[in-house]
Chain A
């Protein structure tokens, strides 16, 4: 069965510190992976996807097929990064996204 696991429900770091949000997945096929972010009182929106291999708002994520992981990283956290982050896996197109449980990231001043 397809599954996405985010082991940390809550993560708190200080401004300027590095951030890593963990995501592990299980999927027998060739997955497409995404990170979505939900800022306070805003709708869920795409942060980045592994296919594009780009950096958005200083965040990057590398797909590691050997470890079945897609961790989200940022070298220097900013207060505006505080939000709920969801890792998601696409089983057969984005219409069948499977989400992890989410990690609430808090950046302390």
Chain B
């Protein structure tokens, strides 16, 4: 089944403890992207990647890192999480420019 898989689905952590949220797609898509979803703000793009080793900042990149060493994986790294990064995170993959984005199930992160 074609899909985007994120792990973990839920995570509670403490301020400053490094964490990684994984994202994997099995559709051989070139483009991948990370969003955070906050009430009243909709989805905001954190980082995106156009191919292996090619990444760029989205609208709210501060406090996040990404890497794209393989086409199928696009992990989101929080080196030193803070409470304002408590949010619902979505990974998406896109086959070609201008077409449909396929989303993962979401990761609910709480930083205390």
Contacts of B100 in A (CB 8 A): 34, 46, 49, 94
Interface size class on chain B is: 20 to 34
**Chain A residues near B103 (CB-CB < 8 A):** 43-45
Cross-chain contact A43 with B43 (CB below 8 angstroms): no
Q: Shortest CB–CB separation between residue A85 and chain B, in angstroms?
A: 11
Q: Which residues between 75 and 109 of chain A lie within 8 Å of chain B, taking CB atoms?
A: 86, 88, 90, 92-102
Given contacts A93-B31, A94-B94, A46 and B42 within 8 Å (CB-CB) = no
| Chain B residues within 8 Å of A96, by CB | 45, 48, 58
Residues of A contacting B31 in the complex (Cβ-Cβ under 8 angstroms): 93-95
Contact, CB under 8 Å: A46 / B40: no
Partner of B43, one of A32, A86, A93: A86
| Residue B41, interface by CB 8 Å | yes
Contact of B94 among A88, A95, A100 (CB under 8 A): A95
For the complex, give the distance between the alpha carbons of A90 and B32 in Å.
14
CA distance A101 to B44 in the complex (A): 9
Tell me how far the C-beta of B73 lies from the nearest C-beta in chain A, rounded to whole angstroms.
16
Q: List B residues at the A interface (Cβ < 8 Å).
A: 4, 31-33, 35, 40-45, 48, 50, 58-59, 90, 92, 94, 96-101, 103-106
- Report 21 cross-chain contacts, Cβ distance below 8 Å, ordered by A residue: A6-B42, A32-B98, A43-B4, A44-B90, A44-B103, A49-B100, A93-B31, A93-B94, A93-B97, A94-B97, A95-B48, A95-B50, A96-B48, A96-B58, A97-B92, A97-B101, A99-B35, A99-B44, A100-B42, A101-B40, A101-B42
